[in-house]
Structure 1
């Protein structure tokens, strides 16, 4: 008979342990406080296993960088001016290295606080002798950060096993559980997938659209964790977040400056809000066919030329990890009264490690959208929208949000956002440190194959951006495969079929992998082994094609919304002179996007040029794996939808 085994008995969860450091150059005070606090911790309920250690100021930085279990630091400001200055430096250092840890200040007089009031969580007098109170306060702050108000309430409700006489219709999975036809799906998905799928009828779980209790508390904790004024959870992905922000700022129209390579949700929002777009041309890397950020001078020029613009949208980091130097750009926009939305779909982890900062919020962005599921531990579609706008109108924003959000959100997604935030708040620094170590190992081992090489920042940044201080998120690892003799698609298939490895994406001469919180040493070992094997079997005859630059973005003949909703007709894109004759000069009614790179060559309202027609025809010729989104196929013949004359 098979025996049911509790997996936690085989692989028990690691014990929670928290280190709290007291940084002081007064060894008498430090030793007395640490001894007393550890004695107090031993006598009290201590679920986090908090232990106190003393460190002098000169060694505090090493502790901040190396001790992953560090959750708080008490900084002694001493009794003189020198001590206050040292404390100020150490407090700033703590915030710059570990954004999440709690900081407490020990001072002897009010003037010790000058310039530090906003930078610590609690204040203790140097003569304090009530160590019970100090311990309880320190523990309370850490426990608050470690709480998951929504996820805990959802779990508690499920374990109470209430009878469900409300939606959804599967009623906690009971409609499937004993079915001879679909019971296998219930067993495959697992009990809790169904019994956590609840509805707004369960009032104890709050409302995502009008939160007042546990969801609001979870969002407040997220705002604190990510450095925002306010944070909103979304279960429709970052696509919805982008649309909500654009609707919030532009209302029923207005001019928007936007990166041509932005996510398609931004293009959709332009149509939905009858906006007038000013598209910024992305910069192509001529060797690898990777589109990078817009040149800073082009952004400044657009802001100068379009004084009536109300919003600018930038993507940072890009799919390939390239990051703008955002601070001067955002300051330039704000000086001209332009709000800034930064799509950080691929950079939700950035705030939690000093090697990745500053983030868009730190640089002054008004709105930041993040796909919490892409690099962190949330479920797919789970995203966050962070607000930094000092002029934020919350009432109007909630109405805009309600227009796009489902009234039946998936509660497990909300719980995953709560848990993903907790993970980053408690162990984000340590997790990312390990991820960055994996990146170093992967880069070294890949380069040693002699065939493959990892592209560094200087390889990926086009010459046109050389002076723009472009950064690179190292967790996006792009591998140059040019010397292998394989195309990116061929190598992607070989990795999958022969080694069971799925990469993130491929271009003509690169493959890309993501090193996330879920990357493990075993996965890393298998990836390195696979690349070594493929390097040993590299082909010497190659016919790789050079990356084909996108055609120039042509002029607009009308607003995208007018074109999209206008009466239209379909014209063949077949490779002949008739197609060119009939399409040239017409106005596109749809968005046409080749993938890769996923950047539109046409958007609604844009004039179709000869260059664009020939470019699309070439993509459709011969043996090509290029997908072109937005085309219409009638009996395998491609058509473009154009505005009817």
Structure 2
């Protein structure tokens, strides 16, 4: 197949990602400007490794200071670096700067410092008071070694211990040990490790299909050795601490209810009981739900539409800053980065601007949990100073669906209150396999995330090149995806989301999605009227890539003979004013009014009424109405056109009575009677 397509695939270098997983070999680089010391130490350390238990296959290699960054970029097996900062030509300042550069390339590597014993009295590092040199070095390095000590057994064991800590999965290991201990279950769940299904003539096939461990890892909170997700003290807490270290947070919390719950928890933490929130209109629906649940006053920001492809991108930075200036009483700014299509904000100036005005920042990184593990994808929201970051670990990493994390670095963080807010939303019967998958997904990124993402990025380049070579399909670049109003905002692109323009094929996005599925067994992530988007993840393989490229080449040679005019995307109608808080509208007395008829009466009846529900056409998945918002003629006509159009559009939030679409609106009597009481509230809940 490779020859047929004439492709030159970039396979992983021998010994990097194709190793026998049962035999590990990890490199530890000793960086020194003193070639004699380096040679002596490498011989001693490798001799020590040969005499001791060495489960990670540690191999020590001497590397010159000028070469270590190349090694960090190109050698996936590298797991630790020992920097000799005690020579006359390469001292503490140089060692400290080198450690910073290595961390920027490979955030997960363990880095150790070798220095003279008199380090406590050494000259201060740049930006550090003289008395804080040692503490500063401890922040930059995992551990310090005395250059004169020469205790290689201790050095080997300490390096190995740090790597072992990073490679540990405390919860997943405990779960496995408990399952293999084969305890009799006299507790929930009722299937009792699958025993209720195993020998059933009716449902035994389901047990065999799902597999033994799906059931025997599904346990009860009664199993105390597995800790408590709602009040962790042992293995779950240890797993969360490791995740915080891996993702660069102060605190990390696991969730088995998805990032939808994560967003609700954070918004409740900051705005429980009410307050003003500045938020992208195109944010995930969980944010809109949290606004209702917590009686928030929303200030909605308009996303920028790319008219050629029907893709809604980020909000203009100037609009965010203007909202922060205008609404000085806002308490939280919510940003989605990256978007579904991979568009990322230049976050640091936005976060800094919000913090200068006393506003906390939540960044929804549901689609960007992998960002911290490759330099081409950094900086992440945490690195840019976000107070809270929510991530769907399952979307791009190796966790089960619904497995998510909340990362925290809010300097005013109240952990007790946060746990109470989390417990209000989390299940008291969590799925332990999900928790284990979070533990394992973190370990994979900590140990091989850089190498796996390097492979993903190579596959992206191969895919983009092959798609463009068809002459019919085109892989869109960052410049293609950035609408003109965003041109100066330094928007970035996550390359693992590959959006492909299919306009010249003559097929619509929906038609192309069906063809790929029916004819080639390929399911894509999303479509617009003239694009499809595929995700390149850790689970993408060379074989899958070959089949995808083969499908595009075949379809390029068999384009739609009758070129259809798919038109241009309908712009969302202008966002109208609020007549009351979203919560007031959602919980008010309501009535249902028809959306369609053969005349103008329906439209007239709806204009000026207050929506009680969130109405979301999909695609693009952005609400045209939220609770509390006034209904305009433009909004009514937009929804009517969608329902009458040839292309099927899902519209979430409509009520169908005998197949007739209805809108739930605040009852007219309530709207009139309460107008005076709600007048002041309506003014607050503005755009």
TM-score higher than 0.5: yes
Greater mean deviation of Cα atoms: 622-631 or 596-605: 622-631
Give the equivalent residue in structure 2 for 1:4.
none
Give the equivalent residue in structure 1 for 2:68.
60
Give the equivalent residue in structure 2 for 1:479.
500
Give the equivalent residue in structure 2 for 1:94.
102
Mapped to 2, the partners of 1:203 and 1:356 lie a distance apart of: 40
User: What aligned pairs does 1:77-156 form with structure 2 within 5 A after superposition?
Assistant: 77-80=85-88, 82-108=90-116, 109-110=118-119, 111=122, 114=125, 116-117=136-137, 118-156=139-177
Residue 251 of structure 1, CA deviation: 1.6
Give the equivalent residue in structure 2 for 1:606.
629
Give the equivalent residue in structure 2 for 1:559.
581
Mapped to 1, the partners of 2:412 and 2:589 lie a distance apart of: 39
Structure 2 residue 245 is the aligned partner of structure 1 residue 221: no
Residue 461 of structure 1, CA deviation: 0.7
Structure 2 residue 649 is the aligned partner of structure 1 residue 641: no
Give the equivalent residue in structure 1 for 2:179.
158
Give the equivalent residue in structure 2 for 1:338.
359
Q: Quick check: 2:338–2:494 contact (8 Å CA) kept in 1?
A: yes
Secondary structure of 1:342's aligned partner: strand
Structure 2 residue 616 is the aligned partner of structure 1 residue 616: no
Structure 2 residue 442 is the aligned partner of structure 1 residue 448: no
Structure 2 residue 179 is the aligned partner of structure 1 residue 171: no
Q: Quick check: 2:33–2:89 contact (8 Å CA) kept in 1?
A: no
Mapped to 1, the partners of 2:124 and 2:452 lie a distance apart of: 33
Mapped to 1, the partners of 2:521 and 2:558 lie a distance apart of: 18
Aligned residues: 635
Secondary structure of 1:368's aligned partner: strand
Secondary structure of 2:631's aligned partner: coil
Mapped to 1, the partners of 2:622 and 2:25 lie a distance apart of: 47
Give the equivalent residue in structure 2 for 1:3.
none
Mapped to 2, the partners of 1:286 and 1:604 lie a distance apart of: 27
Structure 2 residue 594 is the aligned partner of structure 1 residue 568: no
Residue 227 of structure 1, CA deviation: 0.2
Unaligned runs of 5+ in 2: 1-18, 129-135, 669-687
Residue 82 of structure 1, CA deviation: 4.7
User: What aligned pairs does 1:429-440 form with structure 2 within 5 A after superposition?
Assistant: 429-440=450-461
Give the equivalent residue in structure 1 for 2:681.
none
Mapped to 2, the partners of 1:97 and 1:13 lie a distance apart of: 24
Residue 112 of structure 1, CA deviation: 6.8
Residue 89 of structure 1, CA deviation: 2.2
Give the equivalent residue in structure 1 for 2:133.
none
| Matching residue within 51, 61, 79 for 1:43 | 51
Secondary structure of 1:381's aligned partner: coil
Greater mean deviation of Cα atoms: 588-597 or 538-547: 538-547
Residue 12 of structure 1, CA deviation: 6.2
Q: Quick check: 2:509–2:527 contact (8 Å CA) kept in 1?
A: yes
Residue 84 of structure 1, CA deviation: 2.5
Give the equivalent residue in structure 2 for 1:20.
28
| Matching residue within 580, 605, 608 for 1:585 | 608
Residue 73 of structure 1, CA deviation: 0.1
Secondary structure of 2:72's aligned partner: helix
Mapped to 2, the partners of 1:60 and 1:324 lie a distance apart of: 31
Unaligned runs of 5+ in 1: 1-10
Secondary structure of 1:369's aligned partner: strand
Q: Quick check: 1:632–1:640 contact (8 Å CA) kept in 2?
A: yes
Give the equivalent residue in structure 2 for 1:314.
335
Residue 113 of structure 1, CA deviation: 7.3
Give the equivalent residue in structure 2 for 1:515.
536
Residue 622 of structure 1, CA deviation: 3.4
Mapped to 2, the partners of 1:204 and 1:471 lie a distance apart of: 45
Secondary structure of 1:519's aligned partner: coil
Give the equivalent residue in structure 2 for 1:544.
566
Residue 303 of structure 1, CA deviation: 0.1
